[in-house]
Amino acid sequence: MKGNIPEDVIVQGALAENERIKTESKYLRGTIADDLKDEITGGFTADNFQLIRFHGMYQQDDRDIRAERSKQKLEPLHNVMLRARMPGGVITPEQWLAIDTFADDHTSYGSIRLTTRQTFQFHGVLKPKIKLMHQTLNKIGIDSIATAGDVNRNVLCTSNPVESKLHQEAYEWAIKISEHLLPKTKAYAEIWLDGEKVEQTSDDVEPILGKTYLPRKFKTTVVIPPQNDVDVHANDLNFVAIGDGDKLIGFNVLVGGGLAMTFGDESTYPRRADDFGFIPLEKTLDVAAAVVTTQRDWGNRVNRKNAKTKYTLDRVGSDRFKEEVENRAGIKFEASKPYEFTERGDRIGWVEGVDNKHHLTLFIENGRIKDNDDAPLKTGVRKIAEIHSGDFRMTANQNLIVAGVNEADKARIEEIAVAHGLMDATVSNQRKNSMACVAFPTCPLAMAEAERFLPGYVTQIEGLLAKHGIADEHIIFRVTGCPNGCGRAMLAEIGLVGRGPDKYNLYLGGNIAGTRVPKLYKDNINSTEILGHIDELIGLWVAKRNAEEAFGDFVIREGIVKEVKVSATDFYG
């Protein structure tokens, strides 16, 4: 035993460089404050490049102009992307108007990006405006604490608002979980708010995360069946809401999901989460902390590629991990209560809640809210915010819900939405069920296009569906620019993962419910070749499918790809 940690669960070897950075960071302070004063460069030093992630930011540059700047002997145009902390994705109209103004005045792209983490991102903020950004958010009750880095990140929650009392209860638990697992260091307030005390900070003791925080990023969700709109199997820890009528009685707990992998390294793979069992509500925070602290103590701090919770479960055994969680939480998991996921897309259009309020889900392609020539989306959302008395809900599928609309305001809000391209009856089911990560030009990890690639490619897939006589149907289609999983392609019926300029791996066989990982069908081929394969596969699907059989189920039944049942062995086998 090493302390209270069994020696056989500790990975031996030299610690990863990030462990040194965290150890020497003085609880995430580093020398970030000094870097902010350095006007010679627009970037951060090597250690601070990592540490700013714990404050919700990534250093990036505009890759479209990187080569040209290099020719001119200029450093890349360094800037940061900020991801806000918004548990459950709820934001008020007043907050929206403030972030809309900041995006206009102080970002390089002028847009607001809704993300698969159910929050918004600013892209292209230059160093002189970074502190202003944090202070602007703080004034309206928003922060970016722990939305990146080796911590528990923004907690997702099924976003269909107030369809039942269960939804409101689940959202409140998402907030509680987020607050409970936050870092306690004062670093954020000291650096960005000039030492102003904020509610989430206390003395420099990290009772849950520890002095060196977690071995790797950690993602948590609260989900309400039958909607799996948060894609539970993409996340480390998931609380599946179990109700008795409209009353929330507890959660089934799923642990160890994750989608990222590394090309050429078969020790990395996407993985479904394991079902640990049912817990009553009063044990929710204890179990959340127990899962996080077990991963903190047992996770791999030697090889970051194998540091996520999914690898810890496979290395030490899921049953052993579960037993440790039970010991730490002082609970025995009960058998899971029955539930079923039947869908995971957002319900675009109007929904009426139990409170007699109306909720309008707006389809935002790729989550990018900006004014386009044919659709001034950003202006439209701003005009809605100026008159809306409810709130907005950002979804994990990159869409936006105008929630809590009074009957008297419904017609006016719809009029604004239609006039600004936020409601469009011609948008196909295929487009509504397609998604991409940001990729170029801002993401430094991107190998291929994703966000800019997807709209035109979906148009071509729509053409194939029409060609085969099923224009109103859809296939869950997702594109990521690299294998890190942000666009959740590893839970799609057709997933493209970028390998290089116009080169992708083609994966097939996910399902509608989001409970199955797809398998590699073709490796490292261009988009034209991929379209040819999709054409052929849709033709086979139409000709040979069973009644109402989804595309992903069909390709497995027909033996086009094998089903991935156990990620660690089936994904590559």
Torsion angle of the four alpha carbons 257, 260, 263, 265, in this order, in degrees rounded to the nearest 10: -50
Whether 437 sits among the annotated catalytic residues: the reply is yes
Q: Are 259 and 309 a contacting pair, CB within 8 Å?
A: no
Q: Phi/psi of residue 11, each to 5°?
A: -80, 125
* 377-387 helix and 93-106 helix, angle to the nearest 10 degrees: 140
* Cα–Cα distance, 478 to 490 (Å, whole number): 8
* Cα–Cα distance, 259 to 560 (Å, whole number): 22
* Cα–Cα distance, 156 to 158 (Å, whole number): 7
Q: Annotated catalytic residue: which of 129, 186, 219, 383?
A: 219
* Cα–Cα distance, 213 to 51 (Å, whole number): 12
* Joined tokens for residue 308: 């996520």
Q: Annotated catalytic residue: which of 186, 217, 393, 488?
A: 217
Considering only CA atoms, which of 221, 116, 234, 243 is closest in space to residue 158? 221
Rg (C-alpha) for the chain, rounded Å, is 23
Residue 319's alpha-carbon distances to 133, 276, 288, 299, 437, in angstroms, are 45, 9, 17, 15, 34
In eight-state DSSP terms, residue 294 is: H
* Cα–Cα distance, 410 to 428 (Å, whole number): 24
* Cα–Cα distance, 301 to 380 (Å, whole number): 47
Q: Annotated catalytic residue: which of 482, 488, 499, 516?
A: 482
Q: Is 84 helix (H, G, I), strand (E, B) or coil?
A: coil
347-354: Cβ within 8 A, 24+ apart:
347/160, 348/399, 348/427, 348/432, 349/423, 350/410, 350/414, 351/160, 351/163, 353/161, 353/162, 353/163, 353/404, 354/162, 354/163, 354/164, 354/165, 354/246
Residues recorded for the chain: 573
411-415: Cβ within 8 A, 24+ apart:
412/387, 413/360, 413/384, 413/387, 413/388, 414/350, 414/360
DSSP letters spanning 12-62: PSPPPHHHHHHHTTTTTTTTHHHHHH--S-SS--HHHHHHGGGGTEEEEE-
Q: Phi/psi of residue 265, each to 5°?
A: -125, 100
Q: Annotated catalytic residue: which of 382, 486, 499, 519?
A: 486
* Cα–Cα distance, 506 to 534 (Å, whole number): 10
Residue 342's identity, in one-letter code, is: T
Q: Annotated catalytic residue: which of 153, 216, 310, 368?
A: 153
Contacts (Cβ under 8 Å, ≥6 apart) of 112: 99, 100, 103, 120, 121, 122, 369, 370, 378
Q: Phi/psi of residue 249, each to 5°?
A: -110, -15
Whether 83 sits among the annotated catalytic residues: the reply is yes
Q: Nearest-5° angle of CA 153, CA 183, CA 3?
A: 105
* Cα–Cα distance, 57 to 30 (Å, whole number): 15
Whether 486 sits among the annotated catalytic residues: the reply is yes
Q: Annotated catalytic residue: which of 443, 488, 499, 519?
A: 443
Whether 443 sits among the annotated catalytic residues: the reply is yes
Q: Annotated catalytic residue: which of 157, 378, 437, 519?
A: 437
Residues forming the active site: 83, 153, 217, 219, 437, 443, 482, 486
